[in-house]
Amino acid sequence: MPEEKKSPYQEGNFQLNRLNDLQERINSLNLNLENFNEDIQQYNYKIKFDCLNTLYSEVAPCVTPKEKKLVNKYIKAITEFLSFKNPHRLGNVFVNYKQEKQMCFYKEDFEKTKKHLFVYELLIKELLHKYFRSSLDEENKPKDY
């Protein structure tokens, strides 16, 4: 049986599908970032962060060291923010005149999370536009690298 060869065009189609799927998922998550996803057992804002990181991984080999440093700075800052100021975290509440720890929603921290993720999303999309779209030729087919 003859061995199938993969062409750059076929790989480009797979990459386009991955990028499209990720961007559709991000757009869907944006509709309700504070929701908890039962299937994945995670809040949508954390899923969005993971999707943005995966989207970045598609273009990461092409970015400059300066851009890579900037993206890593965002990843570190958002990760640290979510570690200390996660919008859904244990808090002290009074129940029947007693103080108890319960899961609470901190709207102010959620708004900050949303803002950080939006800025990070713009950066990732800018990099995709700069590197991925510029690698398409006039027929909209990926070039051989």
- The mean pLDDT of 63-83, rounded to a whole number, is 96
pLDDT at 6 over 90: no
Check residue 16 and give its pLDDT. 80
What are the extents of the domains in the chain? Answer: 8-135
Own/partner pairs, 32-39, CB within 8 angstroms, 24+ separation: 33/110, 33/113, 33/114, 33/117, 34/87, 34/105, 34/110, 36/88
Tell me what pLDDT residue 139 has: 41
Tell whether the model's pLDDT for residue 142 goes beyond 50. no
| Residue 136: per-residue pLDDT | 53
Q: Is the pLDDT of residue 91 over 60?
A: yes
